Amino acid sequence: MKTVRVKKKMNNLSFSELCCLFCCPPCPGKIASKLAFLPPDPTYTLMCDESGSRWTLHLSERADWQYSSREKDAIECFMTRTSKGNRIACMFVRCSPNAKYTLLFSHGNAVDLGQMSSFYIGLGSRINCNIFSYDYSGYGASSGKPTEKNLYADIEAAWLALRTRYGIRPENVIIYGQSIGTVPSVDLAARYESAAVILHSPLTSGMRVAFPDTKKTYCFDAFPKFLT
């Protein structure tokens, strides 16, 4: 009998976890989440004033801010609560006073709002759109843990905040998802009308992140809503 030693982890999966992936559902969902969510150390903090209504954004050096304080003043941050009980950080970037559309941007799996802030300024200025984004549970200043169910609750809370706090109508919202952000974006777009939906590097399913050659869809696969 030939003995094979697994010396390296596949996408951070140990040999025992690979065994669980096929032998012990619902463990596969947890393993897929481990692959899907890679929250960095927070690159920003939010400080609330005495009134509890105004939040100040403080960026660390790792946020790699590329603009002046004038552009930073165009960023409004606040916290909102999800249906799962987590408090998530939200960011509204006013890039253009005459913007017709606002992008509801769900970012990738290995960044937070601090790292994305300069990108949002540049993107919104180029396409003449305002940007509204949020950090997933367990990312940045957001509480909780990143899970599939929390993703859906996070974007729901962001959508409601965008609609109620800023009075932006659905026909003026473009839902934009990047990488893991395409998962909540598709879920939201399936339930609400919007101006458009943009999927940037979308996932096919959780299993296919770990095993790209996977052809069959298993009942325990992560992100089943995305497959439908």
Q: Give 88's pLDDT tier (boundaries 50, 70, 90).
A: very high
101: its two tokens: 């559309």
CB atoms under 10 Å from CB of 66, counted, come to: 11
Amino acid at position 158, single letter: A
**Averaged over 210-220, what is the pLDDT?**
61
- Quick: pLDDT tens for 132-181: 999 999 999 999 999 989 999 999 999 999 999 999 999 999 999 999 99
Q: What pLDDT score does 203 carry?
A: 73
Q: pLDDT tens digit string along 108-137?
A: 999 999 999 999 999 999 999 999 999 999
The helix (H) or strand (E) run that includes residue 80 is strand 75-81
Q: Tell me: domain 52-57+67-210, CATH 3.40.50.10190, correct?
A: no
* Closest to 91 in 3D by CA, of 127, 51, 43: 43
Share of the chain above pLDDT 70, in %: 74
In the predicted structure, residue 13 carries a pLDDT above the cut 70: no
> Residue 43 above 70 pLDDT?
yes
pLDDT at 206 over 80: no
Phi-psi region of 179 (alpha: psi -120 to 50; beta: other; left: phi over 0): left
The whole-number pLDDT of residue 51 equals: 82
Q: Is the pLDDT of residue 210 over 70?
A: no
The arithmetic mean of pLDDT across residues 98-104, rounded, is 96
Span 69-83, average pLDDT: 96
Query: What per-residue confidence (pLDDT) applies to 50?
Result: 83
Q: Residue 10: is its pLDDT beyond 90?
A: no
In the chain, where the domains are located: 52-57+67-210
Report whether 41 contacts 139 (CB < 8 A): no
Average pLDDT over residues 195-215: 74
pLDDT of 4 above 80: no
Please give the average per-residue pLDDT across 44-66, as a whole number.
Answer: 93
The larger pLDDT score, comparing residue 189 to residue 36, is at 189
Mean per-residue pLDDT of the chain: 85
**Residue 112 burial (C-beta neighbours within 10 Å; 0-12, 13-18, 19+):** buried
Query: Which residues does 22 contact at the CB level (< 8 Å), separation at least 6?
Result: 28
